[in-house]
Amino acid sequence: MRRRTSRLTHRRPPSIILRVTPQARPLEDQVAVVTGASRGIGRQIAIDFAKAGAHVVVTARSSENAPSRLPGTIEATARQVEALGRQALAIPVDVTKEEDIQQMAERTLKEFGRCDILVNNAAISAPAPFHETPLKRWDLVMNVNLRGPVMCMQAFLPSMIERKSGRIINISSILAEEVIPPMVSYSVSKVALEKLTQYAGQELKQHGLPVNCLRIEMSIATEGWMYRNPGMDFSDWEKPAAASEAPLWIATQPVDWTGNVVTIADARQAMGKAAEAKAGVEDLRQLRPQ
Mean pLDDT of 114-119: 99
Radius of gyration for the chain, computed over Cα atoms and rounded to the nearest angstrom: 18
Three-class secondary structure of residue 98 per DSSP: helix
- Cα-to-chain-centroid distance, residue 259: 15
Task: Give dist(CA 94, CA 170) in Å, integer.
Answer: 17
Alpha helices (H) along the chain: 40-51, 74-83, 98-112, 135-142, 148-163, 184-204, 223-228, 241-250, 264-270, 281-284
Angle between helices 241-250 and 40-51 (to 10 degrees): 50
Taking only the tens place, the pLDDT of each residue in 56-81 is: 999 999 999 988 888 899 999 999 99
Phi, psi dihedrals of residue 132, rounded to the nearest 5° = -110, 5
CATH number assigned to the domain with residue range 31-287, chosen from the 4 options 3.10.20.30, 3.10.450.40, 3.40.50.2300, 3.40.50.720:
3.40.50.720
Q: Give domain limits for the chain.
A: 31-287
Task: Please state the pTM of the whole predicted model.
Answer: 0.86
Amino acid in position 33: V
For residue range 199-253, what is the model confidence (pLDDT) as tens digits? 999 999 999 999 999 999 988 888 877 777 777 788 888 888 888 889 999 999 9
Q: What is the H or E stretch that residue 201 is in?
A: helix 184-204
User: Which residues are part of the catalytic machinery?
Assistant: 186
* Segment among 115-124, 137-146, 170-179, 269-278 with least mean pLDDT: 269-278
